[in-house]
Structure 1
Amino acid sequence: MRLSHLTSCIVLSLTGTSFASAAEETTQKIEQIKIIGSKNAVDDIPGSSAFIDNETLDNFAVTDINRVLAKAPGVYFVEEDGYGLRPNIGMRGNSADRSEKITVMEDGVLAAPAPYASPAAYYFPTIGRMSAIEILKGGSSVKYGPRTSGGVINLVSTEVPDAPLGGKVDLALGSDGFAKLHAFAGGKTTDKGYVLEVFNYQADGFKELNSGQDTGFTKTDLMGKFDIYLDAEQRHHLEFKAKYSEETSDETYLGLLDTDYAANPLQRYSASQLDEMNTEHTHFSVHYDYIINDDVDLSVIAYHNDFARNWYKVSKIGGLSLGSGAEEIASQVDAGTYTDAAAPLVDIKANNREYLSQGIQGELAVRSQNHDLRLGLRVHADEMDRFQWVDQYALNDEQFMTLVSAGTPGTDSNRIDSADAISAFVHDTFTYNDLTVKAGIRYEKVDLHRDDWGTTDPARTNTPAQRDNSVSAVLPAIGFTYQTSDALVLLAGIQKAFAPPAPGNQNADKEEGWNYEAGLRYSNDGLKAEAIYYVSDLENLHGNCTASQGCNDELIGNQYNAGKVAIDGVELSVSYAAQVGRFEIPLSINYTVANATFEESFASELDSWGNVNAGDALPYLPESMWQAETGIKGSNWHVLASYQFVDEMRTAAGSGSIPANEKVADRSVVNLSAQYTLDRNQQVYMVVDNITDETYIATRQHGGIQVGKPRSVQIGYRYTF
């Protein structure tokens, strides 16, 4: 990767920063890590947004990001493993596959393993250790890139405790061998502070193998922060952050046939008994803040992310790929009806990859009476190194597997995709009486490169086949809010949408178009309501060829251009808390309806697209979703319940009625949370997911049915100090 220019650049760029004014108490920590900042700040944003605070996360002892996202309208997710280890998140009609169409950040820093060169996010930060989640859609996301077609999620990690010594210990046990340990401790003095954190959770898994092996996971995060003020006036501030994460999960893409799902939805075919994902992730960053004067701030972050993973999983059975007959053979072996004399051969591919993402970014804030001007610049580089192979096993009548031949590393896929990017923005917030205007422009310049050694040069001794793409984009955005009364705010915005192509996109077409939205917010006497109508008019939509999309092995990593796509929808949310005697009755409802269609006919190798006709609906997009949450709260306890409905989805582009083998049926899931505060430091809690034990299909994306998680119980104890 061409990274040398990073060391010679002194730059400013996007941080998503919310700075504390120098006029505020200087011992307050500068807010460098949030893009919204608080629930109240949502009211000033001329677009759809959400701020999910630590109390909300604790109420449901959240370890699955999908549980959280259901609280925000306009956000879609496709479940996969039942625990949210690798979520598939989309916004406003964009594809949810591997969260590749949204910008994901942790503490204002890009979190995807290679956000430009390989956007499919097989790593996602552990949600259980976060203190807040911020979701931003619409024109205000012009400050954040590289992807502006959908939206932004910023995960706020545990902050340094605002006391000489503070922390938390959270322990839980649950169904299917679930166990959790979350602990952090730290403190702050007048000029320095620190926090150290560990988060470990694991489960045996809820799926069943005939061999009796586990189908679960274990994941551990370690994180540390140290910050210090460099001067007595506390205008110069440094923060160092380091994080390490590792995961082992017994996950597979080999799904069930409809008949086997009907007989036992929790079974897993024996052919998947060796499937396992192993990952390691490290992060280092240094953040410098400088309060130049009462009206000018500067913030710079240098960051480095390494991610390595090897997903050892079934790719073929009996020479047939997933979705093309492999499931039938796996089913026959387990049922004892396989008739060939020789045991079927199972190809298990070592999807071995290493990722690197690093850069330096900063933001300058200049404030005046009516303006809040932000200027940013980021220099970034990332890469994905694929070095894969295939081992072959025989699956015998006893449903055990014997190694037949071991592959040579680098003889399956052997290439490096890399990207160098420069981005810059100017953004101003202008206020005049009851009118607030937020306007900005973003520039992205991306150089993409691929070195491919093929399957016959594992030592990489020969000159690789090479491919280069370069794109640039100028992305304006403007939005406004108008306070018509103390209770009512009108809002509207327009934004240029963009996503860079992948190195495997030979046409180098960027994803671009326009996003529009308009709506209102109402707030009075504890009642909050929001209604937003949005339109995304894309001139070109990308489709990335991944294993999760069902692509053939030799096509994985390629990218297709779908041309024009029309997306529109409505996002509604209402919340109110009624006081009934000594009790509080909270109620919140959010509702999303969306329509997304291809406007051009074309052919692709993606299973979820295939041969598309103009007017076909996009796959894996429910027409409607909604969630209602209510309960009762006392002075030191609460019981809360949430009801979530997800409409049916088609698994392949099409129109009219959905064929049975291309349908994910609608589902309703009810979750329950109960919490009791023993004293000012101690709480006990219980969480029940899917309390009605609803059986449902989560996805068909991987060549078969993957089932949703059945009823599960978690009981925990929390101590804070």
Structure 2
Amino acid sequence: MRDNPTFLIAPYSTMPRRAALPLALASILILTAFTAAAQQADTASGSTAPAPPSVTTLPRIDVRGFDWRAYVAAKLKHQMAEVAGTKITVTKKTTVTHLDLQPTVIDNNLQQLLARSPGVLVSQQPTPTQFNLSYRGLGNPQESEYVLVMQDGIPLESDWIGFPTLYAMPLAQSLDQVQLIRGGSSLLYGPEPAPVINLVTKRPKPGAPFSASTEQVVGNHGLYSTYNTLEGSSGAWTFRADAAYVRSDGTRPNAQSQMRQGDFYLEYRPDDKHLWWLDLHAINADSGDPGRLSYPQWQADPRATPTPWNRDWVDRDQLVLGHTREFGDGWRLTGKLWFAYQDLASRAANGVLAPQPPPASTTLQDEQFRTRGLDLRVRKAWGHGNAFTAGTVLFQGNDPFRQWSSSDLYVERFDRTGTPRLRQARSSDYYAVFAENVFRLPHEIHIVPSVRLERERVAVDETVRPPFLSRPLIHEADARTVPLFGLGIGNDFGHGNETYFNVSQGWRPLRYFDMASPFANIVPGHAPDPSKSLSWEAGVHGVPVTGLYYDASLFWIDFKNRIEAQHINAIDVVEVNTGDTCSRGFEGLLSYDFLAPTALATRGEHLEAFASVSLLNAKFTASAIPGQVGKIPAYAPRYLAKAGLTWRVEQRVKLSLTAVSAAAQYWQDSDQPFGSGPSYLPARIPAYTVLDLAGDWQLNHNVKLLAGISNLADRRYYDRVWQTGLEPAYGRSWYTGVQLKL
């Protein structure tokens, strides 16, 4: 009932002809059996039967039916349903990671969490207060600004429109699935070019008995993690609650961090056609910020800490009210109303290393995000497997931004005695209407046209500006209306194979900083156009034999109107659309369970190997910057490969060895090094390969042992660079623990 991935099963009258054939044959056989039984009953009662006619032997005909249900079940282990609740995903490229089929992910290790998500690049920052993801070279991974990350279909960004940054992530233990959607994702969910990463939260099944569990984990670098749950049901009511705490000392001085998480889910299901639910999520995290290093500093001492006084704080609370209803005759409604509050605070001073003196002041910053939204979707199943969906999304944000200067490098988070440095009132509004339909045609062809109309408005009113600027106070507002169109075409062939093609538009909303950067002498009245994308994807996927799944596609993305700051004189800056990029390449995934064709699989034993690769050719095709055409965008490695081997015995063992390998990549669009001498940063991030080993061992129904080693080979590397320096990635780390369940 809830709007999670569930396959839409049509009644007999709407089943595909492949499905109707076995049922028709079964009906004939049943009718024949009843006729024979009736004749035997007549004979037994003494009735006189006519003499049988002469027997004619007919040629033998072998009829073989295709079990489409088995095909669907096998495919849903790797991708989303073609119609998932009130959403159409057929002809879109989707990948699903079922977290219960792999070992427990501890301390939100994103490399492990996204190991089965092809093409998603993780740029590591070993603290729980910022998460950096990118895809296909479409933008810098800083705070995942070019990727739409959602939890149960609701954006996790600070402000979806005005400030689409990712500072809070739910712990992996609380998640059931990771859904990766590209090709038409903007038409399905909204802004950001591609992809959508939707984190699906764990939910208890209706009628589930009461249960409780506690997970206790320790590891090096002072790691301690606890995750605790209660869940159960009574009549029409079902609930789940969890509470978690994670702390670590980190690998450098002032890298200590802690995170608290609490979730509560309550559903009411009065009958099989209605579902009401309430979802509450709370995340609280804080971490020291040891600062970034130049390349010579990293070579000399990767544990160096130029900012021992800096710190970050994140609080995020979200309330969701939802309702799903089946009206009959193929109609289904899903509505979600949500309210979110996020407080993002930091204390930041310039970095220095001994024997240099410490800075004279620090900046205390506080950004609050009060957002709310409504998502309404309807679906109508009609004809022979056709489906129509339509809906609307409304979103508003109220996001004040403040800064103070203080001479106390360790000023407390809520201290407001410093000198006001910046004060802005910011707001965002977003509205969208959309519709899609999947048409089933003869010869197993399906077509999905899509349309979406979106409107955004962002506004900034400034009362205090930084003292080093000479521009006037900002009082800007800008509104844009963006129509989006898409078309998907697919064809089922053979037993369990499908070709798909999708062409769709996407866009990146105009942010607060695009319209009016608070830290530069921006000339007012020069808001750029929003960045837009046109994405083409054509591929084939399926489960042609037992245990094998494959998905291979070619893609081409034109990304236009990239926004950058451009100096028009020695002092003033204007935000302009500086250029276009093209990203094209190949993305493939192969998964095979070696034991699926054997009798061991019937006893719950599996040995699965998977491998994915993203081959990328990205370059600038137009630019207002001289000499930029032909250069490679930042964070666009020529290859990103992921692979692994998992041995799994149901209710006993899960053991995985995974690897992530990335080619060398530029960290800025200029493809040039930055700085010189002690502050030098090379133009490219070197290639790296990282191995992770993790396992769960279920001793009995009540006790499970957990253990793992990340960066097994202790590779010394980095994959995150900014103009202020690079951040060392984690070296080898380990954990071990136990889970107790009642």
Larger mean CA deviation between 69-78 and 617-626 belongs to: 69-78
> Match of 2:64?
none
Matches within 5 A, 1:321-360: 330-331=352-353, 333=354, 336=355, 338=356, 343-360=357-374
CA deviations on 1:421-472 (whole Å, 9 max, x unpaired) are: 1111101122235222222111101111111112389xxxxx9741111101
The correspondence for 2:280, drawn from 242, 249, 259, is: 242
Contact 1:515 1:537 in 2 (8 A): yes
Shift of 1:298: 1.2
Sort the Cα spacing of 1:98 and 1:560 in 2 relative to 1 into closer, same or farther, 3 A: farther
Shift of 1:544: 8.7
Shift of 1:70: 3.1
Matches within 5 A, 1:84-483: 85-95=129-139, 96-139=141-184, 141-147=186-192, 149-162=193-206, 163-207=208-252, 209=253, 214-229=254-269, 231=270, 233-252=271-290, 254-269=291-306, 272-314=307-349, 316=350, 330-331=352-353, 333=354, 336=355, 338=356, 343-369=357-383, 370-392=385-407, 411-433=420-442, 434-455=444-465, 465-483=474-492
Sort the Cα spacing of 1:492 and 1:69 in 2 relative to 1 into closer, same or farther, 3 A: same
Name the CA distance, whole Å, in 1 between partners of 2:237 and 2:416.
53
- 1:530 maps onto 2:551 in alignment: yes
Name the CA distance, whole Å, in 1 between partners of 2:704 and 2:178.
23
Sort the Cα spacing of 1:346 and 1:65 in 2 relative to 1 into closer, same or farther, 3 A: farther
Name the CA distance, whole Å, in 2 between partners of 1:383 and 1:499.
20
Name the CA distance, whole Å, in 1 between partners of 2:590 and 2:241.
38
- Secondary structure of the 1:101 match is coil
> Match of 1:590?
612
Name the CA distance, whole Å, in 2 between partners of 1:156 and 1:544.
37
Shift of 1:520: 1.2
Contact 1:23 1:294 in 2 (8 A): no
Name the CA distance, whole Å, in 2 between partners of 1:424 and 1:37.
29
> Match of 1:519?
539
> Match of 1:709?
730
Name the CA distance, whole Å, in 1 between partners of 2:565 and 2:372.
23
Sort the Cα spacing of 1:161 and 1:715 in 2 relative to 1 into closer, same or farther, 3 A: farther
CA deviations on 1:404-436 (whole Å, 9 max, x unpaired) are: xx9855722211221111111101122235222
Name the CA distance, whole Å, in 2 between partners of 1:632 and 1:17.
26
Name the CA distance, whole Å, in 2 between partners of 1:146 and 1:631.
36
Contact 1:118 1:383 in 2 (8 A): no
Larger mean CA deviation between 582-591 and 178-187 belongs to: 582-591
> Match of 1:627?
642
Sort the Cα spacing of 1:488 and 1:285 in 2 relative to 1 into closer, same or farther, 3 A: closer
Name the CA distance, whole Å, in 2 between partners of 1:621 and 1:38.
29
Contact 2:395 2:430 in 1 (8 A): yes
- Secondary structure of the 2:722 match is coil
- 1:509 maps onto 2:536 in alignment: no
- Which amino acid in the other structure matches residue 222 of structure 2? G
> Match of 1:63?
108
> Match of 1:616?
631
Taking only aligned residues, the RMSD between alpha carbons, in angstroms, comes to 3.1
- Which amino acid in the other structure matches residue 509 of structure 1? D
- 1:650 maps onto 2:666 in alignment: yes
Shift of 1:301: 1.2
Larger mean CA deviation between 380-389 and 125-134 belongs to: 125-134
Matches within 5 A, 1:527-676: 527-542=548-563, 560-579=576-595, 584-603=606-625, 613-633=628-648, 636-654=652-670, 661-676=682-697
Name the CA distance, whole Å, in 1 between partners of 2:565 and 2:77.
35
Name the CA distance, whole Å, in 2 between partners of 1:274 and 1:195.
39
Shift of 1:177: 0.9
Name the CA distance, whole Å, in 2 between partners of 1:647 and 1:55.
30
Structure 2, unaligned runs of 5 or more: 13-74, 83-88, 516-525, 675-679
Shift of 1:632: 3.9
- Secondary structure of the 2:216 match is strand
- Which amino acid in the other structure matches residue 575 of structure 1? S
Shift of 1:393: 5.4
Contact 2:555 2:584 in 1 (8 A): yes
Name the CA distance, whole Å, in 2 between partners of 1:492 and 1:259.
48
Contact 1:17 1:363 in 2 (8 A): no
Name the CA distance, whole Å, in 2 between partners of 1:466 and 1:280.
28
- Secondary structure of the 1:262 match is helix
Aligned residue pairs total 635
Contact 1:140 1:438 in 2 (8 A): no
Name the CA distance, whole Å, in 2 between partners of 1:241 and 1:60.
23
Shift of 1:133: 1.1
CA deviations on 1:325-353 (whole Å, 9 max, x unpaired) are: x5xxx23x2xx3x4xxxx45244221211
Shift of 1:305: 0.3
Contact 1:677 1:684 in 2 (8 A): yes
Name the CA distance, whole Å, in 1 between partners of 2:527 and 2:236.
54
Larger mean CA deviation between 190-199 and 406-415 belongs to: 406-415
Contact 1:483 1:489 in 2 (8 A): yes
Shift of 1:248: 1.3
Contact 2:259 2:286 in 1 (8 A): yes
Name the CA distance, whole Å, in 1 between partners of 2:572 and 2:313.
24
When the two structures are superposed, what TM-score results if normalisation uses the length of structure 2? 0.79
Name the CA distance, whole Å, in 1 between partners of 2:737 and 2:716.
26
> Match of 2:62?
none
> Match of 1:697?
718
Shift of 1:355: 0.7
- Secondary structure of the 2:111 match is helix
Sort the Cα spacing of 1:561 and 1:132 in 2 relative to 1 into closer, same or farther, 3 A: same
Name the CA distance, whole Å, in 1 between partners of 2:705 and 2:483.
52
CA deviations on 1:252-289 (whole Å, 9 max, x unpaired) are: 4x3122222112212222xx112111121111111122
Shift of 1:65: 2.5
- Which amino acid in the other structure matches residue 188 of structure 2? K
- Secondary structure of the 1:197 match is strand
- Which amino acid in the other structure matches residue 246 of structure 1? N
Sort the Cα spacing of 1:537 and 1:431 in 2 relative to 1 into closer, same or farther, 3 A: same
- Secondary structure of the 1:501 match is coil
- Secondary structure of the 1:562 match is strand
Contact 1:15 1:361 in 2 (8 A): no
Name the CA distance, whole Å, in 2 between partners of 1:20 and 1:159.
20
- Which amino acid in the other structure matches residue 656 of structure 2? L
Structure 1, unaligned runs of 5 or more: 1-13, 25-35, 317-325, 395-400, 458-462, 546-553, 604-610
Larger mean CA deviation between 585-594 and 687-696 belongs to: 585-594
Name the CA distance, whole Å, in 1 between partners of 2:713 and 2:699.
29
When the two structures are superposed, what TM-score results if normalisation uses the length of structure 1? 0.82
- 1:49 maps onto 2:94 in alignment: yes
Greater CA radius of gyration, 1 or 2? 2
Sort the Cα spacing of 1:140 and 1:420 in 2 relative to 1 into closer, same or farther, 3 A: closer
Name the CA distance, whole Å, in 1 between partners of 2:637 and 2:362.
33
- Which amino acid in the other structure matches residue 99 of structure 1? S
Name the CA distance, whole Å, in 2 between partners of 1:118 and 1:158.
28
CA deviations on 1:556-587 (whole Å, 9 max, x unpaired) are: 9x965233211112111111121389674321
Name the CA distance, whole Å, in 2 between partners of 1:651 and 1:667.
15
- Which amino acid in the other structure matches residue 201 of structure 1? V
